[in-house]
Structure formats: structure tokens, C-alpha cells
Amino acid sequence: MFQPGAIIEESLLNNLKSIASRIRENVVKMISEAGSGHLGASLSVVDILVVLYFLKIKHDPRNPLWSERDRVILSKGHAAPALYAVLAECGYFPASLLSSLRRIDGFLQGHPEAYIPGVDMVSGSLGQGLSVANGMALSFRLNGKSCRVYVIMGDGELNEGQVWEAALTASHLMLDNITVIIDRNGFQQEGSTEDVKRLEPLGEKWRAFGWHVVEIDGHDLNQIVAALNEAELTKGCPTVVIAHTIKGFQPR
């Protein structure tokens, strides 16, 4: 397991933790008011999304289609409430719209939609995010752009064969501007990931496909930042961050 020291200045770290706490509160409220939604899957990715949107990626909520922005693909689209709460916190749309989750004709539906400011891919059908990311990353390279693509996947999603086809493609094309972040919470709809279709040794599988692999505690903000920094410095191959998380995580 990756064990970096403290790399985020304390006041910034406390601010990020406060943001993450508000995001979690909004996620719980949204799903409670809607009466349905994927609460556990949403809460396990909050810290990852907070680090991306409030510390790492290039983006502009005032200009959501800015061509020089980094792209974030929530391939595990059922965790949309977490993404929506983060986008509202950033200012992409008013926080009052969070209460429209899953309502008929509501602004926010159960999975990300392209009309929502800040959403870079319509997702929901699992296994497709990395394929789309490959096209984006290759386009950026061909056009001389420094944009990066981040793909957030669920571990149950790795049952999909398309993921591994796309992983092989990204490695073959040496798309080092792609970072995959796996929300390794150990559960999927039918139960434990290891009971449904064993994934371990997961890191070795990705290495065999030609990827640089980093394993972290997915709720440790310092570790998330350090892993993403390492991904940026890794050249000649894409990076996968296996973020060990807890489904439904709520810090004490």
C-alpha cells in the first residue's frame, strides 16, 4: 500500500475535509428526498472527487465547455449523486437543483446526462468509460493539448470485458495522459466482488496489461494527491490508482 507523508498544507487539508463533509451531507439528503439511489457507491468516491475538482484538475465552472479543461469520466455512473454534489459545490449549477434528483422532469437524473454542466460523459451502462477516455486522450495527444483524462471506475465494473479491451488499447497506444481510479470498495450489486467474480490479484492484472499501478487508501486525501502526482510524472504508459475504500464511508 502506498504510504506518502503529509503533502497537503494543513489549512488546505482541513478545508478539503470540510468540503467532503458537506458533499456527503448533500448526497445523503438528495438520496433520502428522492427515495432511491446508490448511497454506498456515492459515498465511497467523495474524497476522490473532492481532490480532483478542488485541487488537481483544470476546469472552469463559468465555462464548462472550455476546450483546455481536463476531463473526468464517472464510468460508475450510479454514483452520480456524489458527482452532482461536487459540481454544485464548484458552482456549475445552483445547489437548489440537488433536490431534483430522480424526479420526473427533474434536472438531475439517476445517471449523468450530457446536458448537465460539468458532465463529460453520459454513463450508467458499466464498462464503457475507459473506451471513451481512450478516444479523448488520443485526440488530445494528436492535437498537442496537455489535457488529462481521469476515469473513475467501480470494482464490480471490472467484470466487463470491454474494460480490459480498453486497458490493452490504452497501454498499446502509450496513453500516459489517462489516469484510471478504481473505487475498490469490495462490493457490487450481487455481493462481495471476490464472491461474484474474483478480481485479485488486481494490481498484477493491470501490470500485465502494461499499466503503472499505484495502490492507496482512497479516503486519505494526502495519498490521493500523491498518487495523482505520480500519475502525472509517469511517462510512456497509463496509470491506474487502486483506491481501497469503504462503501458508504462516513468519517467520524
Phi/psi of residue 245, nearest 5 degrees? -125, 175
pLDDT tens figures, 120-172: 999 989 999 999 999 999 999 999 999 999 999 999 999 999 999 999 999 99
Which cell goes with 47? 474524497
Tell me, yes or no, whether 3 lies in a domain.
no
pLDDT higher than 60, residue 4:
no
Q: What is the CATH number of the domain that holds 230?
A: 3.40.50.970
pTM tops 0.85, yes or no: yes
Distinct helix (H) and strand (E) counts, the chain: 9, 7
- Which range marks the domain in which residue 99 is found? 10-244
Question: Is there a contact between 242 and 211 (Cβ–Cβ < 8 Å)?
Answer: no
Tell me, yes or no, whether 166 lies in a domain.
yes
The pLDDT of residue 171 is: 99
pLDDT tens figures, 178-210: 999 999 999 988 889 999 999 999 999 999 999
The pLDDT of residue 2 is: 46
pLDDT tens figures, 18-35: 999 999 999 999 999 999
- Mean pLDDT in the chain? 95
Tell me, yes or no, whether 151 lies in a domain.
yes
Give 32's contacts (C-beta < 8 A, 6+ positions apart).
none
Say what percent of the chain tops pLDDT 70. 98
Please tell me the total count of domains within the chain: 1
Place 6 in a pLDDT band, splitting at 50, 70 and 90. Answer: low
